[in-house]
Amino acid sequence: MCGIVGYVGNKDVIPILLEGLHSLEYRGYDSSGIAIHEGKNLSVIKSAGKISKLEELLLKSRNGNGKYCGIGHTRWATHGEPTDNNAHPHFDSDEKIAVVHNGIIRNYLEVKDSLIKKGIKFASDTDTEVIVQLVSSCFKETGSILSAIRQAVVMLEGSYALGIIFKDEPGKIYGVRKESPLVIGVGETENYLASDSPALSQFVDRIIRLGDGEIVELSKEKIELYNFDGKKINKQAQPVEKSKDIMDKKGYKHYLAKEISEQAEVVLHLLNDYLPSPKKSVKLDCLNFSKDFLDNIDRILILACGTAYHAGLVGKHVIENITAKPVEVQLASEFLNTKALLTKKSLVIGISQSGETADTIAAVKKALDTGATLLGITNRPDSALADLAKDHLIISHAGLEVSVCATKTFIAQMTVLYLFALYVAESLGKEDKKIFLLKQELRMVPQLIDQTITRGERYQEQVLKYADKPDFVFIGRGINYPIALEAALKLKELSYIHASGYAAGEMKHGPIAVLDPDVPVVSIVVPGDAYDRVFQNSIEAKARQAPMIAVAVDGDKKVESVFNTVLHIPPIIEILSPFLTVIPMQFLAYYIAEHLGCDIDQPRNLAKSVTVE
């Protein structure tokens, strides 16, 4: 899986490829590499590690002049360790063809076996090398590059976006797409290829999205499109969405810290757009639901992965609470293995920060096949999810999130879900006092988030006492159970410390066995329906000698008397408390990880958007 970029034109290719790769680094940063035409040669330069490693290598070995055509790749390892050898581009044995790939070839072992039987020797452990060796083998039979690609793709099962470059065709790049996204950037006497359009928006004004089962032949003057049957196709270019976001740490040590600090602003922005006053109804003009549809919804199913899934779990509580519509939340990857029991009356909500997560996209497509209606929530207007959810789409407007670990986009997703719940309730005529009060309190949230964030340094002092602990348990109930899950995820992602989030009531059914003085328990114990029970479950944990940390509201003497450490937040009503309880959890993970010297913005083994199932 990974990010692909390609360029053919009159400019020096190396800086363009590197810039494109930097924009695609969110898709993985295990290794990177490029393949370029250099005179009569086709050269591959690649390295394990971040793109900066490749840059160092290129500085030593190359100047950019005189190279006008090439492809590049940034990798998140699926098959084979993140080594130089497994880095893309991959050559065929004759070093005449180089390929970059995003996706997974499911039958790669079978294809590899058949190629080995023909005497072909493999140099890497990747599924990608199978593609290039297969194209090369087909080329030897057909003598035509395009035919070779067409023959090869018929034999490949799985998902792939490919960039292919041939030694004997300088000035040409081939792109192939099945499932994994691939976009062509249309320029004047130059053309581009990339895994997503934001990577191209700095270079071109127009793009063409390659469809499933399509091949493109790019030269600097021409864009020729074919389907897998070899039939020529015509497609109109469309304008590319230009992003105003600039990458800037604004004086913070890490993007993560900057993004945590932006959370009040993010919520305020969304509220100003969609709920400027509690006296008015929520205004979501981006939705086109009829009252009849909303009235008759039989089931709401939220599909998402990772942090977006946790936002979905919070959303379930809110939507059920104020609309009385049943909501289920499923991990997108799990939904793919279930019967999709949906009808035309079902509403599916796909949530994805990037809008490109392969599991979420596949799950949403499966849901759409049942005739269900889709609402998309994403931070990226120019993404696969936004494309699928054209009729009902809410952009979460969190701005660019650079840190792999999601923070402000989580809070933005939650805000959108609260607004959506209010929108449904109001559309159904539930404009009662409860709704008005919730809107009033929601308008106060940005201020409260701000106050919580200013406590960051205090949290730092408090949590560093626990930085040497090898294991953490986070517990919560009801609307704060998802925050316990999110807190554990943040700590794992950032610090590599093992952490689990549990529904507090489940502790006694097994997890309590892991507790001892080396396993801190972090309880989210804020006033509301869940308070007494979480408190009780915390006492049970304390009895097993676990160090006890609480997230509690200011002035909670009962909590202060029992817990070793209390991470205080300003008082807030339970239904809105996730907006605040998550903040000390983000700081806890951040400060412990920083103390341990971890790579905060690009933790090992992760990618911001996982574009393989």
427-466 residues near ligand G6P, rule: CB under 6 A: none
Q: At a CB cut-off of 8 Å and minimum separation 6, what does 123 contact?
A: 85, 90, 91, 93, 129
Nearest distance, CB of residue 126 and ligand G6P, angstroms: 21
Assign 390 to helix, strand or coil. Answer: coil
Considering only residues 306, 376, 399, 482, which one is a binding residue for ligand G6P as defined by CB under 6 A? Answer: 306
Beta-carbon contacts of residue 486 (< 8 Å; ≥ 6 apart): 307, 310, 410, 501, 582, 585
CA-based nearest residue to 266, from 453, 451, 446: 446
We find the least distance from the C-beta atom of residue 540 to ligand G6P, in angstroms, to be 31
Cβ of residue 116: shortest distance to ligand G6P, in angstroms? 34
- Stretch of 248-256, 299-307, 391-399, 458-466 lying at the interface with ligand G6P (CB under 6 A): 299-307
Name which position in 353, 537, 581, 611 contacts ligand G6P (CB under 6 A). Answer: 353
What are the tokens at 514? 């892991």
**Residue 228 Cα distances to 178, 209, 231, 232, 487, angstroms:** 10, 16, 7, 10, 46
| Rounded least distance, CB 305 to ligand G6P, Å | 4
What are the respective helix, strand and coil percentages of the chain, to the nearest 5? 40, 20, 40
Residue 600: HSE in the Cβ half-sphere, 13 Å Cα cutoff: 24
Other Cβ atoms less than 10 A from the Cβ of 236: the count is 6
Which one, of 122, 123, 126, 156, lies nearest residue 138 by Cα? 156
Candidate segments 52-60, 103-111, 354-362, 366-374, binder of ligand G6P by CB under 6 A: 354-362
SS3 582: helix
Site stretch for ligand G6P (CB under 6 A), options 5-13, 118-126, 163-171, 306-314: 306-314
Contacting residue, 32, 333, 357, 577, with ligand G6P by CB under 6 A? 357
Q: By CB under 6 A, is residue 610 in contact with ligand G6P?
A: yes
> Which range in 169-177, 241-249, 303-311, 419-427 contacts ligand G6P by CB under 6 A?
303-311
What one-character DSSP code corresponds to residue 241?
A: P
Among 182, 550, 608, 613, interactor with ligand G6P by CB under 6 A: 608
Binding-site member from 401, 609, 612, 613 for ligand G6P (CB under 6 A): 609
What part of residues 394-413 is at the interface with ligand G6P (CB under 6 A)?
A: 404, 406
Q: How far is the CB of 331 from ligand G6P (least distance, A)?
A: 10
How far apart CA 104 and CA 107 sit, in angstroms, is 9
Mapping DSSP to helix (H, G, I), strand (E, B) and coil, where does residue 349 land? Answer: strand
Residue 65 burial (10 A CB sphere; 0-12, 13-18, 19+): exposed
User: Rounded to an integer, what distance in angstroms lies between the CA atom of residue 518 and that of residue 498?
Assistant: 12
**Contact range with ligand G6P by CB under 6 A, out of 222-230, 258-266, 305-313, 495-503:** 305-313
Give the CA count within 13 Å in the CB-facing half-sphere of 165.
35
Residue among 335 and 535 whose Cβ is closer to ligand G6P: 335
Q: Assess 352 for contact with ligand G6P (CB under 6 A).
A: yes
Residue nearest to ligand G6P (CB): 306
Q: Does 606 bind ligand G6P (CB under 6 A)?
A: yes
Please state the closest distance from residue 164 (CB atom) to ligand G6P, in A: 28
Binding test (CB under 6 A) with ligand G6P, winner from 305, 377, 526, 553: 305
User: Is 608 in the active site?
Assistant: yes
Using the structure block, give the residue that is written with the tokens 């709704």: 435
Nearest CB to ligand G6P, comparing residues 38 and 387? 387
CB of 100 to ligand G6P, least distance (A): 21
Task: Verify binding: residue 78, ligand G6P, rule CB under 6 A.
Answer: no
Quote the least distance from Cβ 302 to ligand G6P, whole Å.
Answer: 12
In this chain, which of 159, 354, 538, 586 binds ligand G6P, going by CB under 6 A?
Answer: 354
Question: Are 538 and 548 in contact, with CB atoms under 8 Å apart?
Answer: yes
In this complex, which beta carbon is closest to ligand G6P, that of residue 360 or of residue 538? 360
**Contact between 538 and ligand G6P per CB under 6 A:** no
Which residue, 312 or 547, has its beta carbon nearer to ligand G6P? 312
| Residue 398 structure tokens | 């969190």
Q: Return the SS3 of 557.
A: helix
DSSP codes, 316-334:
HHHHHHHH---EEEEEHHH
Rounded to an integer, what distance in angstroms lies between the CA atom of residue 54 and that of residue 60? 10
Residues 483-502 that bind ligand G6P (CB under 6 A): none
The residue (of 354 and 565) whose beta carbon lies closer to ligand G6P is 354
Q: How far is the CB of 474 from ligand G6P (least distance, A)?
A: 17
Please tell me which residue in 46, 178, 366, 608 is annotated as part of the active site. 608
- Asked if 308 is part of the footprint of ligand G6P (rule: CB under 6 A), the reply reads yes
Q: Active-site residue among 2, 138, 305, 405?
A: 2
Q: Is 305 marked active-site?
A: no
Report helix, strand or coil for 255.
helix
> How far is Cα 448 from Cα 268, in angstroms, rounded to an integer?
11
**Which residues belong to the active site?**
2, 608
Instruction: Using CB under 6 A, list all residues that contact ligand G6P.
Output: 305-308, 352-354, 357, 360, 404, 406, 606, 608-610
